[in-house]
Each structure stands twice: as C-alpha cells, then as structure tokens.
Amino acid sequence: MSSPLGPGGTRREAAVAAAVDAALSVGVTGADPAVLYEAFSVVVHLAPEPVVARVPTVLPRTVRADLPARLRQMRAELAVTAWLAGRGFPVVVPAHPEPLVADGQALTLWRWVEQTDREVPETESGALVARLHAALADCPVELDWLVPLDESVPDALGQLVADRPAWLTAEDVVRAQGEWDLLAPLATEPAAWAAAFPDAPAQPVHGDAPFYNVIATPSALLSSDFEHVGHGPPEWDLASVPAGVRAGYDAEAARLGLRPLDERALQVAERGRALQLLAVLPLAGELPGMADALEGFAAGWRASSPLADLLRR
C-alpha cells in the first residue's frame, strides 16, 4: 500500500499509507487502519491489530530536513517509555523497539489501549507529573537538552519577519528574536543553566505538557507522547500549567520528597514555552485555525515584563 503525499493525495492519506507499510515490514497487518487523531502527527490504529502508529507530519523545516536527528529522538522516546514500563510506571508502551521509515516518513509503533472519556481532574494529572519526575530521576537513557528549544526556534522567528499573521506585529517579532538571543545559552547549554539556576537542577523530563498528555483507561491513567523527552529542569514540564495542575504537583512532590519548584526558573521556562509556541506560527498553513488560537496567548506574552529584567533578578 503506497500513497505518497503529493498531487491527488493528502497528508492524512500519506501518513496512513506509511503506517501500514511500516507495520507490514515488522509483521503487523493493519488491514483496516483508522485515524484516531490528527494535528502535528497523524495517529493511526492499525486495526485489527492492537497497534497504533504515530506519524509526525507537521514539522519545522529544520527538523524535517534532519532525518537522523528525528530518528535519534524517536529512539530516545522509545527507550525511555520502555524503561518506565519495565519499572512498572503507567505509560503507553512501545509495540516495536525502533522507529521505522516508510514512504519517506519516520514513525513509531505503540500498543493500543482502551480509552475512556473520563475527565481527569487537574490535581490528579498534576500529581501524575510529580510521580513521573520521581520515576525518571535515575533513568539511564542518554538524552538531549531541552529538546524542542533548538535551531528550529530562531529559524521560525526569522520566517515571521516576512510572513506573519496580521495580529503579530513587526515589533513583536523583534522582541521575540531578542528574547531568544537572551534565552539561547540557557536553552541550549546545560552548563549555562546549571550556573544560572543552581537550585533548579536538571534531570530527565517529559518535555511536552505531561499534565495534558495523559490517557485515561478503565484501569489507570497513562502518561503518553514523550516525543520531546529530554534532559532539563522539572520546571520545564510545569511551565504555564493551570493552577489546579500546579497544586496537584506540589502536593504529590512534597509527599514524594521532591524538591519544590524554583519560581524564577519556572518563569524563565514559561518564556521558553512562549517562544516555542510563537515558533509554531510558520506551520499555521498546515493546521487551520492554529494561528487564531494563538492570538490570545500572544497578547499575554506581549504584556509580560521584559525577559532581561527576569534574568537580572
């Protein structure tokens, strides 16, 4: 089965074709594939097999151009989740230990789990993040530093100089580029972070809103979507979370003997998240409605105090 992205095809169709082809290469027959979710990735249930493929399809151009780096990060994700599962931590488990490439697309395979529509209270999801941090503390997998804060951020901000939504001003872009210049050493150099924030030491972290990336099953809550797993301060996983999530995390962290979150480090992490989100805007054409959804967020960032002031404290 092959339907490459191009004239007459769609991103979804190409992802499903790649998922089926890749699965077949390792003996999984997805005769009746069904798309479960589609945003930055297309998630495909390879029915009737209990296997799900996740195919990243909307990627920054620097990430798309570096297949070896993408495969390395996928291997890290698979290794970390397999390690957590082996320790008894509730995660979605890999269905194959290595990333696969089919029809030019890299993807990973996961065990299908039955989901419920139970709404997870914020405090419960926050507590799960604290337990995840406790479990990850001694994870031996070699990980990159603050994975999403890479060259894709300044590259995307540069693209916004010439092509940006109407609500984002030229002054906004200049400010974002200046903030990246200030943040880049902390975002890309572990030693710089350690020197600036000695009370906020780093460890393996989920990397991508772990309070949100939770799957409720009939028997447990499962942490999922470790695509940005990396080494960084725990504050990175708590940046800009709702108050209830923070309360749940703090209570469980205290019970587990984890250190309290460093408030200044948390504020700096929130600025990093802000730049990461602004850097998504060049991809808005591939995700209808995304630019409009970020307008309110950008207004809050615009009203925030200068990053330079925060770093001088």
If asked whether residues 102 and 126 sit together in one domain, one would say no
117 is a domain residue: no
If asked whether residues 219 and 287 sit together in one domain, one would say yes
What pLDDT is stored for residue 1 in this prediction?
30
Nearest alpha-carbon partner for 128 in 32, 242, 262, 248? 248
Helices 170-188, 263-278: axis angle to 10 degrees equals: 130
Count how many domains the chain has. 2
Question: How far is the C-alpha of 153 from the C-alpha of 274, rounded, in Å?
Answer: 11
If asked whether residues 262 and 290 sit together in one domain, one would say yes
If asked whether residues 188 and 281 sit together in one domain, one would say yes
Q: Give the number of other Cβ atoms within 10 Å of residue 104's Cβ.
A: 10
158 is a domain residue: yes
If asked whether residues 52 and 157 sit together in one domain, one would say no
Q: What is the CATH number of the domain that holds 93?
A: 3.30.200.20
If asked whether residues 86 and 133 sit together in one domain, one would say no
CA distances for 298 relative to 58, 174, 288, angstroms:
21, 14, 17
1 is a domain residue: no
Residue matched to tokens 């999403």: 148
Q: Are the C-beta atoms of 56 and 227 separated by less than 8 Å? A: yes
If asked whether residues 152 and 75 sit together in one domain, one would say no
What pLDDT is stored for residue 313 in this prediction?
79
70 is a domain residue: yes
Buried b vs exposed e over 239-250: b needs ≥16 C-beta within 10 Å? bbbeeebbebbb
Check whether the bond before 201 is cis (ω within 30° of 0).
no
What pLDDT is stored for residue 4 in this prediction?
35
Question: How far is the C-alpha of 288 from the C-alpha of 160, rounded, in Å?
Answer: 17
If asked whether residues 256 and 296 sit together in one domain, one would say yes
CA distances for 268 relative to 238, 310, 311, angstroms:
11, 7, 8
From first to last of its 313 residues, the chain has per-residue pLDDT tens of: 333 333 324 899 999 999 999 999 999 999 999 999 999 999 999 999 999 999 999 999 999 999 999 999 999 999 999 999 999 999 999 999 999 999 999 999 999 999 999 999 999 999 999 999 999 999 999 999 999 999 999 999 999 999 999 999 999 999 999 999 999 999 999 999 999 999 999 999 999 999 999 999 999 999 999 999 999 999 999 999 999 999 999 999 999 999 999 999 999 999 999 999 999 999 999 998 899 999 999 999 999 999 999 998 7
Please give the residue range of the domain that contains residue 239.
122-312
Question: How far is the C-alpha of 99 from the C-alpha of 119, rounded, in Å?
Answer: 31
CA distances for 166 relative to 111, 118, 170, 223, angstroms:
42, 38, 10, 37
Handedness of CA 273, 290, 206, 148 (dihedral sign): negative
- Backbone φ and ψ for 54, nearest 5 degrees, come out as -115, 120
2 is a domain residue: no
CA distances for 39 relative to 43, 282, 284, angstroms:
9, 15, 11
Buried b vs exposed e over 119-152: b needs ≥16 C-beta within 10 Å? ebebbbbbbbbbbbbbbbeebebebbbbbbbbeb
If asked whether residues 146 and 67 sit together in one domain, one would say no
**Which pair of tokens denotes residue 182?**
């200030």
If asked whether residues 276 and 146 sit together in one domain, one would say yes
Q: What is the CATH number of the domain that holds 239?
A: 3.90.1200.10
What pLDDT is stored for residue 164 in this prediction?
95
If asked whether residues 126 and 102 sit together in one domain, one would say no
Q: For the residues of 209-220, what is the DSSP string, one character each?
A: -TTTSEEE-SS-
- 82, 111, 140 - which closes a domain: 111
Q: pTM to 2 decimals?
A: 0.94
Nearest alpha-carbon partner for 70 in 133, 5, 152? 152
59 is a domain residue: yes
- 111, 146, 172 - which closes a domain: 111
- 51, 82, 111 - which closes a domain: 111
Residue matched to tokens 């001088």: 312
What pLDDT is stored for residue 5 in this prediction?
37
Residue 228 CA, distance from chain mean position: 4
Nearest alpha-carbon partner for 269 in 225, 227, 289, 239? 239
3 is a domain residue: no
If asked whether residues 76 and 145 sit together in one domain, one would say no
